[in-house]
Amino acid sequence: MTTIVGEQTVRHIGLRSRIYTIFQKEPRSAVLFVVSSLGLVLAGALSFVGIGALASIVLVICALLVLTSLGVEIATKLYQKEFGLDLIAALAMASALWLGEYLASAVVAVMYAGGQFLEVYAHMQADDGMSELLSHVPSTALRVTATGLGEIPISDIAVGDILLVRRGDTVPADGVLNSDLGVFNQAVLTGEPIPVRKDKGCDVMSGTSNAGDAIEIRVTRTPQDSAYAGIVKLVEASRQSKAPMMRLADRYAVGFLLLTLAVAGASAIAFEDVTRIVAVLVVATPCPLILAVPVALVAGTSKAAREGILVKGAAALEALAETSVVVFDKTGTLTAGEPLITRIEGSADPNELLRLAASLDQMSAHTVGRALVKEARRLHLELGRPTEVRELPGAGIEGNVDGVRVSVGGDHYFGLDENEQASSSDPRSSMQARVFVDGKIAGSIILEDELRHDATAAVLALRKLDIKRLVLASGDQRAAAESIASKLGFDEVRARLTPNGKVEVIAQQRDLGRVLMVGDGVNDAPALAAADVGVAVGSTNLAAAAEAADIVLVRDDLKAIPTAIAIARRSRAIALQSVYVGMGLSLVAMGVAGMGFLPPVAGAFLQEAIDVAVILNALRARF
């Protein structure tokens, strides 16, 4: 029993907090609702004690207050070349005042203000998942200097700074642990419920919180380029976007307004009763069009955020719902992304060949390059500092290392044909990095990359969602790509692709429907941007991914892709359901009002009931 009371108390506190937030962020909606409601209650009390004339004045004041505010809003929208269905509410209040239906006018005013208040509250409810992510954004940091500690703004953090992160504080920038041991809560990024222990030198992601004693980190990326910056960019973009369904509702606004006026005018002429104009207008609720779609889609993006899926807005969510083709990158997406060196071939000394290649690849973010650097450091090889570096993302890199010109890349980077490719002991699962020194081939580094543990389950789940086609688009050699594709049952394999080649694959597949591209967010950036929906996997390059991708899987789990599609489809279905049912009820109510069976006051209450039902139904997308 104690637990239940506690939960109820928390809910009440949460409700009060939301209402208080509405008054802070949307004072207009909140004040109009409170003032008009109190005015209606006061008018009722005055009528009860027999002061009907004063009650009428109070009702007129309430209606005029809301009508004036609404008129300013309509004028502003028209100036911005936007047309909204709020004009129907304004016409309903104005016509009721003109015809002396003061109570009806005041009730419409309260219902309109209440609808606006409810809309803000619904958006806050739907936005919970994303707001939780933003709540972890710090504003200041403690920098360790020779003279002690200094509190600085986040914007002043630079690469190489040593920061002190106290127990409970959020890590403000990506870095490496400078202390011997740290304990971090990574739930907001990875979904892991249990804090993670890390040793000195381990990577620490921004957005995680310190769950242990105070520690120091050395900054490796500025806050603007850090992992959590990508999340913030995605959330803000999500809040500002407008889906095609929502723009479609705007286009329907004119038609719905004309239909409403036609029904109201025809009813008044047919029955020679002008009050029926008011009755029709007050039940012509636009909420199914102007509220249901945005609330449902925002609720869907919020649900996705709680699953570790950041969607860049309602438009991306709607496009995701219509996806029928999925194109995957291979390395780092379907594979573990941490290839291991199995052998080094060539005439040069293997360690020297690796040292030169790793020295150059310190400047690359490619998974193969990181593998070379990791192996070289494991062998304690002394890496040089490369200069005059040029990289073709996803293909190869070249530059000067210790006085020689070094180039590292795949066969297609050097323009080698099939006959010139070196053989390997297991060509079906191997990849190789060619190394050229001063323009001559010095050898090849053979690597193995295992299939991700979650890849098979993700592909099976996509098949269950009736995805028409699965395509593997890889920059690796065909044998390695076909090995992965055969294990997963892909429909098509395209290998030895440059980043622009992947863009061409996207364009070709678009004939079969909307295309979703899944990649690592850096080398696949052109393809992610070209697809109808781009999904970036992993959390190490979120800031870069936020620019190119529409969706980022914060928790680095491929099974989240079918989950995201399912959430998007359900959200879109709920939005359409709310529109069709809500508009159907409104049209029926208009007909009943036009026939004279629904007086203006009752119609106003019915309108609000329809609005509330539509919004509550749209909020189902949160769960």
Which of 86, 127, 174, 329 is catalytic? The answer is 329
Q: pLDDT averaged over the chain?
A: 80
In the annotation, is 329 catalytic? yes
In angstroms, the CA 562 to CA 516 distance is 11
- Which amino acid does the sequence have at 609? A
Q: What is the pLDDT of residue 130?
A: 53
Q: What is the pLDDT of residues 122-163, one digit of tens each?
A: 656 555 555 555 555 667 888 988 888 888 888 788 888 999
In angstroms, the CA 549 to CA 534 distance is 5
* Residue 575 C-alpha from the chain's centroid: 18
Query: Above 60 in pLDDT, residue 50?
Result: yes
Edge-to-edge strand order for the sheet containing 181-185?
A: 196-199, 181-185, 209-210
The HSE-up count of residue 369 (CA atoms within 13 Å, CB side) is 20
User: Distance of CA 202 to CAs 176, 399, 501, Å?
Assistant: 5, 28, 36
Domain coordinates in residue numbering, the chain: 2-129+237-298+568-622, 139-230, 308-335+451-567, 340-448
Q: What is the pLDDT of residues 558-576, one digit of tens each?
A: 999 999 999 999 999 998 8
In angstroms, the CA 585 to CA 86 distance is 18
Q: What is the pLDDT of residue 12?
A: 43
Average pLDDT for 282-305: 77
Average pLDDT for 493-520: 88
Average pLDDT for 550-562: 86
In angstroms, the CA 98 to CA 92 distance is 10
Who has greater pLDDT, 23 or 145? Answer: 145
What is residue 345's three-state secondary structure? Answer: strand
Who has greater pLDDT, 373 or 542? Answer: 373
Q: What is the pLDDT of residue 394?
A: 66
Q: What is the pLDDT of residue 476?
A: 75
Q: What percent of the chain has pLDDT over 90?
A: 21
Q: What is the pLDDT of residues 463-490, one digit of tens each?
A: 999 999 999 998 777 877 888 899 999 9
In angstroms, the CA 571 to CA 129 distance is 15
The pTM (predicted TM-score) of the whole model is 0.69
Query: Above 90 in pLDDT, residue 25?
Result: no
Q: Structurally, what CATH architecture does the domain formed by 139-230 represent?
A: Distorted Sandwich (2.70)
Q: Structurally, what CATH architecture does the domain formed by 340-448 represent?
A: 3-Layer(aba) Sandwich (3.40)
User: Distance of CA 169 to CAs 65, 138, 172, Å?
Assistant: 47, 8, 9
In angstroms, the CA 92 to CA 278 distance is 6
In angstroms, the CA 208 to CA 197 distance is 12
Query: Above 60 in pLDDT, residue 389?
Result: yes
Query: Above 90 in pLDDT, residue 497?
Result: no
Burial class (CB in 10 A: 0-12, 13-18, 19+), 346: middle
Judging by DSSP bridges, how do beta strands 514-519 and 533-537 pair with one another? parallel
User: Distance of CA 126 to CAs 246, 303, 315, Å?
Assistant: 16, 8, 16
Query: Above 80 in pLDDT, residue 598?
Result: yes
Q: How does DSSP assign 173-221, residue by residue?
A: S-EEE-SSEEEEE-HHHH--SS-EEEETT-EE-TT-EE-SS-EEEEESS
Q: What is the pLDDT of residue 9?
A: 38
Helices vs. strands in the chain: H and E counts, helices first: 23, 22
CATH of 308-335+451-567 given 3.40.50.1000, 3.10.20.740, 3.40.30.10, 2.120.10.30: 3.40.50.1000
Q: What is the pLDDT of residues 247-279, one digit of tens each?
A: 556 666 677 778 888 998 999 899 888 888 888
- Which amino acid does the sequence have at 115? G
Q: What is the pLDDT of residue 4?
A: 36
